[in-house]
Amino acid sequence: MIQKDHDAALWQAGAMHIQLQNWFRAKAPFEQLLKKHPENADILINLGGVHSKLGEFAEAARYYEKAVKLSPDRPGLHDTLNAVRRQIPGGGR
């Protein structure tokens, strides 16, 4: 139970920082969650969004690519990945 509560607290902290547009501070909680749940597409998507907002498009693309592999039918995810790739000098990949 404690672990689940800790994960929920990390998620809430990350989500709060996203809502406040404090992109740098949003990274750490989601990175901690990803270490414990590396196959969670929602965490990967949040990290992709945070890195994108920080202008770290290559890193954002890596997170989105992993999320696409885990959740290929998620609406809009392919479009988001392609939009981020277009921001990378040289087109990414």
- Residue 76, pLDDT > 70, answer yes
Return the pLDDT at 24.
97
Q: Provide CB contacts within 8 A for 22, sequence distance 6+.
A: none
Q: Please compute the mean of the pLDDT values over residues 17-22 and round it to a whole number.
A: 98
- pLDDT reported for residue 58: 97
Q: Calculate mean pLDDT across residues 57-71.
A: 98
Q: Where are the chain's structural domains? A: 2-91
Please tell me whether the overall predicted TM-score, pTM, comes out greater than 0.95 for this model: no
Q: Which residues contact 42 (CB under 8 A, 6 or more apart)?
A: none
Banded pLDDT at 2 (limits 50, 70, 90): very low
Is it the case that residue 91 has pLDDT exceeding 70? no
CATH of 2-91, one of 1.25.40.10, 3.40.718.10, 1.20.1260.10, 3.40.47.10: 1.25.40.10
